[in-house]
Chains A and B, each alone.
Chain A
């Protein structure tokens, strides 16, 4: 292989590999963002349910004490 062939092969393959890596990273992060959004929605719903359940349980006690 000549120096010219080696230069073209190395430069173009590095740029190609980096581009493929960028696309793969973007896809992986897009999935992570979607999962994090789902988790966030789940956690918020669970928190709301927990807070509501607790306030619902307090009401009779308050009523009884008042």
Chain B
């Protein structure tokens, strides 16, 4: 399981995961496991922002521009969220 993300890590969505945006909420589907996940509003925003491969640092910067949050808090919360998504196979980290 991923332990932490550094600013230089490249993060991207797993292209095998289907997703759709309904009323600004993201629903994910993993065809392999037949599993569905509904993301809350902030998680949905993160997923939508991650439209192409980018560094963890770039993603943090984009989110800080939208939300009133310190770099340290953003880094910590985003790292935990991406750890979960990565463990589930929804995003990849390089």
A, B in one complex: no
Interface residue ranges, B against A (CB under 8 Å): none
Interface residue ranges, A against B (CB under 8 Å): none
